[in-house]
Amino acid sequence: MTRQVLAADQVFDGQTLHRDRALLVEDGRIAGLIPRPADLPPLPGIIAPGFVDLQVNGGGGLMVGAGTDAAALTRICAAHRGLGCAGVLPTLITDRPQVTAQVLTAGAQAARDLIPGFLGLHLEGPHLDPRRAGAHDPALIRPMTADDLAQLVDAAARLPALMVTLAPGAATPDQIAALSRAGVIVSLGHSDCILPQAQDAIAAGARCATHLFNAMSQMGHRQPGLVGAVLAGTIHAGLIADGIHVDPAALTVALRARPRGLFLVSDCMAVAGSDLEAFDLQGRRILRRDGRLTLPDGTLAGADLRLDRAMRTVVAAGAEPARALAMATSIPADLLGAPTGRLLPGRAADLVHLDADLTLRGIWDGTGWQAPH
């Protein structure tokens, strides 16, 4: 048996930051937390579970889309492991039916191949509201059909997890209920719905909202919209905490309104883990400038964000460090039911090392700490 003892100033177990503790790893798996040996100098900063990102549109120079196969998913997952992610949901934005079918097939193969870091798929569309299309092609947005529903139910049985972002109005409550019964995580987004429509979708089984505040009906004092449904409710919600997609003041409001259930997503694109300055998305040029990804007209098109920066952003907006860490690890992992995001005995030792200010410094590869990409 290979036994390793890893120590830092603090160890985050998925819920709590511990001092004077060390992490015991046996044969690449977590054995537990132990008192820190007196003769073992701690790393400065924090050891924590690897990040879990439920919205990655691409990475390593590739987008999820036409041409995606299991090899492409392997490359995307590897790029994100180099950014500190123990697991990700590769995400397909609104596309043609044949592309959706191809990506679902690739995901099923990736699951059979046990690709490291592959937790399932996220389909963001095409069943959205064209009034809140954002960077999605409005010509490809359409309501859910019986065939679409059958395809998604079948895919859920072949994937470790399947998240589907849809808009109330583009799918009926009965369709949402059927997806939920099949194990699909239904997430509400890209919608101009009013509060009762959102509440009906949640009652039918929707469990999440996609990139809170972005591409959704905003909160007014007489018509709270989808934002109000999330802030006044209990469903989970992802946040793009880059200081660009959501103003820091709005982040503070969300953190105070929802002490539980919020998690961080990168909403990253092909440029993640690369030095690309531009790429093509469904025939449209996406530009990388000053920490932003935009269409030529300035429309935001995903984010140029790493999750350690997202954690620092929510800390600046009022979150305690332990909460910020949970928002990037245990909260999204628990939503999926994925065996990661917490330092529990028997789980793989997918670990990151962070400075005290939550800057990513190292990724554990089983033998030592490697620098992130």
Residues taking part in catalysis: 267
State CA 196 to chain mean position distance.
27
Give the contacts of 11 (CB within 8 A, at least 6 positions apart).
17, 18, 21, 22, 23, 33, 46, 47, 48, 343
Tell me the C-alpha distance between 131 and 31, whole Å.
50
> Do residues 342 and 330 touch, judged by C-beta distance below 8 A?
yes
Radius of gyration of the chain (CA): 20
Q: How far apart are the first and last CA of the chain?
A: 31
Q: CB-based contacts of 257: which residues, under 8 Å, 6+ apart?
A: 231, 232
Residue 47: CB partners within 8 Å, gap ≥ 6?
Answer: 6, 7, 8, 10, 11, 12, 23, 351, 352, 353
95 is written with which tokens?
């596309």
Bridge partners of 263, per DSSP, are 238
Query: Which residues have a Cβ under 8 Å from the Cβ of 364 and sit 6 or more positions away?
Result: 6, 349, 350, 351, 352, 353, 370
Bond before 126 cis per omega within 30 degrees: yes
Contact 159, 111 (CB under 8 A): yes
DSSP string, 275-343: --SEEEETTEEEEEETTEEE-TTS-EEEE---HHHHHHHHHHTT--HHHHHHHTTHHHHHHHT-S-SS-
Please check whether residue 176 is in contact with residue 201, taking contact to mean a CB–CB distance below 8 angstroms: yes
Ramachandran bin of 264, using left for φ above 0, alpha for ψ from -120 to 50, beta for the remaining angles: beta
